[in-house]
Homo-oligomer: A and B are copies of this chain.
Amino acid sequence: MDASVRTPERKLAGDKAQRIIAAMRSSVGARGASGSTFDQVAQEAGVSRGLLHYYFGSKERLLAEVVRHDCDLRLAALEQQLARADSLEAIVDVLVTSLEAFLDQDESDDPALIYEMFSASRHHEEMQTEMAELYRRVREQVGAALREKEHEGIVALRGDAEAVASILFALADGMALQRLSDPGWDSREAFAAGALTARYLLGG
């Protein structure tokens, strides 16, 4: 009963497990969930194929782990940005800038990852749960941040804080879908309209 290996969670903190998660994450972004094979992912992670089963048991569980990991990273980054914003304009700017950064990531960190995961989650129980959790956390945490801003008098939300958070993310997801579907689309007008909409939702 010492601090050594005991729970599965302990194992996944190791270097190799993290490399596997990172490799799967990048592979799903590039090739999709069903297009990502244990063979390729193992090779990219620099481990053997068997190790993927050793750590995660099944492809589904590895994918669920990738979702959780990705959600953690993105939420933390956004929340940090939001915390700094001390005016309505600053918040809108954080939202717009985050979306633009999200869409212009380099290849190893494909924005389509999250939508691949959404599709995959529709056919796997564990991933379904993980995706539901993801959006729930987003709404709750960003909602809480917005409520805080409202308390400080920076914003005057046009509705329930979590509902506003939900709408803001819906907007961002929807814009991302359109931009990813048609990379050649000139989205400047739409971005402007989106920013205006966000400003309205925050009380501007």
Interface residues of A (CB under 8 A from B): 31-32, 34-35, 112, 115-116, 118-123, 128, 131-132, 134-136, 139, 158-160, 162-164, 166-167, 169-175, 177-178, 180-185, 187, 189-190, 192-194, 196-197, 200-201
Contact = CB atoms under 8 A, between A and B. Distances in A.
Nearest to A178: B135
A118 B121 contact: no
Q: Is the interface of A mostly helix, strand, loop or mixed?
A: helix
Contacts of A181: 118, 121, 128, 131-132, 134-135
B32 A189 contact: no
Copies of this polypeptide in the complex: 2
A172 B174 contact: yes
A171 B177 CA distance: 11
Contacts of A35: 34, 123
B170 A175 contact: yes
Contact of A178 (B31, B169, B184): B169
B32 A182 contact: no
Given A32-B34, A170-B170, A174-B172, A112 B122 contact: yes
A166 B193 contact: yes
A128, A136, A163 pick with most chain B CB within 10 angstroms: A163
A155 to B, nearest CB: 14
Contacts of A162: 189-190
A122 B116 contact: yes
A167 B183 CA distance: 17
B192 A166 contact: no
A169 B164 contact: no
A94 to B, nearest CB: 18
Contacts of A189: 159-160, 162-163, 166
14 contacts: A34-B34, A112-B119, A118-B180, A132-B182, A132-B183, A135-B185, A158-B197, A159-B192, A166-B187, A166-B189, A167-B171, A170-B171, A170-B173, A197-B197
